[in-house]
Amino acid sequence: MSMPAVRLSAAPKFAQSRLIAAASLKVMVLEWLRRRRSRTELANMTDRDRRDLGYSRCDVDAETGKPFWIP
């Protein structure tokens, strides 16, 4: 029994969309990890380090208080 031509042509598109979704998810998770790491480093900086970068204590508190999924 042969499969209809429509199903055969749709299969690669479905596989391609799954790959794109997987790649997008990977990029999103890597960005979340980067934000978490950056905010942790910022929270652990000394006052002098923060001043050298031009951040006030309020800037640091505002940034480190955000959840990782918020840019």
pLDDT tens digits for 41-60? 999 999 999 999 999 999 99
29 assigned to some structural domain? yes
User: What is the chain's mean pLDDT, rounded?
Assistant: 87
11 assigned to some structural domain? no
Compute the average pLDDT of residues 2-13: 61
17 assigned to some structural domain? no
Count Cβ atoms below 10 Å from residue 42 Cβ, excluding itself.
16
Distance of CA 28 to the CA centre of its chain: 3
19 assigned to some structural domain? no
Compute the average pLDDT of residues 17-27: 93
Q: What percent of the chain has pLDDT over 90?
A: 72
Count Cβ atoms below 10 Å from residue 34 Cβ, excluding itself.
11
pLDDT beyond 90 at 32: yes
62 assigned to some structural domain? yes
Which domain range does residue 68 map to? 25-71
Q: Are 43 and 62 contacting, i.e. CB atoms less than 8 angstroms apart? A: no
64 assigned to some structural domain? yes
Q: Are 62 and 37 contacting, i.e. CB atoms less than 8 angstroms apart? A: no
60 assigned to some structural domain? yes
51 assigned to some structural domain? yes
Element (H, E) at 15: helix 5-43
What is the number of domains present in the chain? 1
